[in-house]
Structures are given as C-alpha cells and as structure tokens.
Amino acid sequence: MAKKTNQARDSVPAISDADDLLLGEPLPEAERIAALEQLRQQVAACTRCLELTDHRTQTVFGVGNPMARLCFLGEAPGADEDRLGEPFVGRAGKLLTRIIEACRLKREEVYILNVLKCRPPGNRAPHPLEAANCRPFLDRQLEIIRPEFLVCLGASAAQTLLNTTASIGKLRGRFYRYRGIRVLATYHPAYLLRNPSAKRPVWEDMKMLMQEMGIPIPQ
C-alpha cells in the first residue's frame, strides 16, 4: 500500500468510515463491567513501553459509566492522575467536570479515558510508538463501551485517534466518525486554564454536541 504523505495527514480526516464500524451486538452492562475489569488487569500488567513502565506509579485505565453514550478522551495521565489512578483529577480535571455539568450531564454518566494509560515522565508528549503500543487497549475500551459520541480533548488525542497532523483549530467545530462513533475535537481543559479566551469555542463545540445528543441547550 502507498505510504501516506505528510500533506495527506495534515488534511482534516474524511467524515465517513462506513467500512470500519464496530461489529457485533453491544454487550449488556454486567458483561461490559466484567470485560472492562479484565482489560484493566491486562493494562495494569502491561510493560510494552519500558520508559513509562519504569516511571509510573500505576496505570490509569479510565473511569465512568460502562453504558455511557459519551466518552471524553485525553492524551495521557499527569502527575495527579498517576498518583490517584484516575484520569482528569487535577485542576484540568475539575474544569472538565464543570464542562460536563454545563452540558447537563454528570461526570458519572460519561466515560473518561486517555490515549496512553501510563504517565510520560515530566509530562512530555507521548511518543508515536507509545501511542501505537497502547492503541489496542483504547480500541478495546471503545469496543466494550460502544459510545455514540466521543470528545477528543486537545490536539494530541484528536490527532492520534483520527490519524492526522491537522491542528486542533482546524479539527474542532465539526463531527468525524471513528469506528461508527461520532467524534468531536476541542481544546484541552489544561489549555483553557492557560487561555481563558478559548472557553468560547469550547462552549460552541459543546453546544453542537448537545444538539446532536438531543440535550436541550441552556439559553
């Protein structure tokens, strides 16, 4: 197969992926809980990325409702997440909770996960090989939960999931599909903490999400 050029990867991904749908019937809740627990144990024992394995306190699998209609996907655990074993628990996590609540949802109703399950030392960006190593775990999580919607938080999560190098500014503001899931990309809450002016475009993205999910938008 011809190698993709950088130019091709810079472009915004195509909307349709009809040939790449998740197959099979969605699992009932009890089976999802059991399958996620089995996967969590596999992740906890994983040593594919030697540098991350050496530095992690623990793996950070994901948290939330196994029946969630909506997932939020971040890049990787930070220091707080590595310490507590849960994604998005620091200042950025608190802001994410507020964003979720602004969408008239509760944090417990959605599922929150990261591309990488181990913290990169010094919060450096994940290496492509690490993202590739961890991808089967992410794909299996999505296969079990089968969300209708997924919000990528920040460029790294969006670029990894959608296999593009396009900027988050170019990617946000429209829906994509990944294995039958409707995907939206927006700015990372940590970026919002540094750049409060980005709250407006994030709210625009969330309103678009609410509309598609059939949630009344607050006036």
Q: How far is the CB of 131 from ligand SF4 (least distance, A)?
A: 8
Q: What are phi and psi of 121, to 5 degrees?
A: -55, 135
Report the distance separating Cα 168 and Cα 185, nearest Å: 7
Nearer to ligand SF4, 153 or 198 (CB): 153
Report the distance separating Cα 149 and Cα 162, nearest Å: 14
Q: How far is the CB of 82 from ligand SF4 (least distance, A)?
A: 11
Q: What are phi and psi of 175, to 5 degrees?
A: -95, 145
Nearer to ligand SF4, 43 or 215 (CB): 43
Per the CB < 8 A criterion, the answer to whether 100 and 90 are in contact is no
Q: How far is the CB of 59 from ligand SF4 (least distance, A)?
A: 5
Nearer to ligand SF4, 46 or 210 (CB): 46
Q: How far is the CB of 76 from ligand SF4 (least distance, A)?
A: 8
Report the distance separating Cα 210 and Cα 16, nearest Å: 21
Which residues form the interface with ligand SF4 (CB under 6 A)? 43, 46-49, 52-53, 59, 116-118, 130, 133-134, 137
Nearer to ligand SF4, 9 or 40 (CB): 40
Q: How far is the CB of 34 from ligand SF4 (least distance, A)?
A: 20
Nearer to ligand SF4, 57 or 167 (CB): 57
Strands (E), the chain: 63-64, 70-74, 111-114, 149-153, 175-178, 181-186
